[in-house]
Amino acid sequence: MRVSIDLSAIPRNITGVGRYALEIVNALTNKESTTGLDLTCVVRKGDISRMQSLVPGTVLLGVVPDSRAARLAYELLGLGHALDREGVQLHHGVHYTSPGNFHGKVVTTIQDATLLEHPEWHERSKVIFFRNAMARSAKRADALIFPSEATRTGFLRHFDPKGQTEIIAYGVDPGRFANSLNDHETLSQLGVDQRYFLFCGTLEPRKNLLRILHAFYLMDPKDIILVVVGMKGWGDQALADEKARALIDQGKVAVLGYVDDQVLGALYRNCIATLYPSLEEGFGFPALEAISQGAVLITSQASAMTEYVGDAALLVDPLSLDAIAQAMNVAIYDNVRTSNLRERGPLIASNYTWDASAVKHANLYRRILGT
């Protein structure tokens, strides 16, 4: 079973989609139950060396141009021919897209539906490109993978796909966050030397950071800070808000940017709670990561996150400052409830492994190919 997976858009700082793609490839490569899978990874010409370290033991097809514009054009015009020459039977596009001019089977992962449901949360050029890509995938793909029912439901409000739709949950590897130092030393190096809430996520409108900041401002907790972790995204002005600037100037908010996994693990394990009341997600990696490390999680009710965190989180209306603030107070003062959540979280997270997700991917490939 000759299968290719597209790794040509993995950024330097690995989050979200990049994490999913790399973990699935490594699990497919190492899992005995996926025996019979002949896997090739499609990568950029200038990214072969890095990919050899990120997905060791896999065959790399370094045919994709390095520039973004050329890469996108190549996927539509040239990639299919290259895959045919390699004898690929099924190609998996991990980020909404499907290759043009390809004669084999196609599986595409739809990471989330916010580009369709809430285009105002994204850069206009990105909305136009990925909406068109999803429309093509709905017509071309033999199967579409969704990380949650919420994402599939949102997608189906806009398209009627020709192929089957499959929900496959992602995973988490708790060992990824192991710390070679002790957590206290790591936090000291960051300058985090008091109790704190943690926000982790790309700084973009749907992450709801502005309401988190306003809720924190409303609470005005003593001797507690808010730590903000994540890369700057598009269109988010939360940290430029007047109340946010006041909190930053007072030393009540620490903005750390992107941090590595060891640091992130220490932050998860020692926070009062991880704040993830996102307006909408396809899956929401930080929620699963947080509970895997025993963190108290505050996240959005009726969201993709609730499909897997279940009763291992404090669920809030993400539009309500009062609800967010009340949950933060619970995290500070209700020791019995938070102790139960800290015990429950890792148990729930243990149900979501990359090996289990990889087996479901491989089974889908087999069904599509009829093997």
Residue 289: both structure tokens together: 């990561």
Closest Cα partner for 62 from 46, 50, 83? 46
In this structure, are 259 and 340 located in the same domain? yes
Chain center to CA of 270: 22
The CATH number linked to 294 is 3.40.50.2000
pLDDT for 33: 60
In this structure, are 157 and 238 located in the same domain? no
Per the rule left: phi > 0, alpha: psi between -120 and 50, beta: everything else, 325 is: alpha
In this structure, are 180 and 311 located in the same domain? yes
Closest Cα partner for 317 from 290, 279, 345? 279
Give the residue numbers spanning the domain of 312. Answer: 174-349
**pLDDT, one tens digit for every residue, the chain (371 residues):** 999 999 999 999 898 999 999 999 999 998 766 668 999 999 999 999 999 999 999 999 999 999 999 999 999 999 999 999 999 999 999 999 999 999 999 999 999 999 999 999 999 999 999 999 999 999 999 999 999 999 999 999 999 999 999 999 999 999 999 988 899 999 999 999 999 999 999 999 999 999 999 999 999 888 999 999 999 888 778 888 888 899 999 999 999 999 999 999 999 999 999 999 999 999 999 999 999 999 999 999 999 999 999 899 999 999 999 999 999 999 999 999 999 999 999 999 999 999 999 999 999 999 999 98
In this structure, are 312 and 184 located in the same domain? yes
In this structure, are 38 and 157 located in the same domain? yes
DSSP 203: B
Degrees to nearest 5, angle at CA 243 with 234 and 313: 70
In this structure, are 134 and 18 located in the same domain? yes
In this structure, are 200 and 300 located in the same domain? yes
Q: Phi first, then psi: give them for residue 105, nearest 5 degrees.
A: -80, 155
Residue 240: both structure tokens together: 């430029």
pLDDT for 179: 85
In this structure, are 309 and 215 located in the same domain? yes
Number of domains in the chain: 2
In this structure, are 69 and 218 located in the same domain? no
Rg (C-alpha) for the chain, rounded Å, is 21
Helices 335-349 and 285-292 cross at an angle (nearest 10°) of 110
Contact status, residue 331 vs residue 338, Cβ threshold 8 Å: yes
In this structure, are 146 and 165 located in the same domain? yes
In this structure, are 261 and 193 located in the same domain? yes
Q: Provide the residue type at 226 as one letter.
A: L
Chain center to CA of 198: 17
Length of the chain: 371
Closest Cα partner for 168 from 198, 146, 184, 199? 146
Contact status, residue 371 vs residue 1, Cβ threshold 8 Å: yes
End-to-end CA distance of the chain: 8
In this structure, are 116 and 225 located in the same domain? no
Chain center to CA of 195: 27
Helix segments in the chain, DSSP class H: 16-30, 48-54, 68-77, 79-85, 114-117, 124-140, 149-156, 183-190, 209-219, 242-249, 261-270, 285-292, 306-309, 321-333, 335-349, 354-369
Q: Phi first, then psi: give them for residue 95, nearest 5 degrees.
A: -140, 60
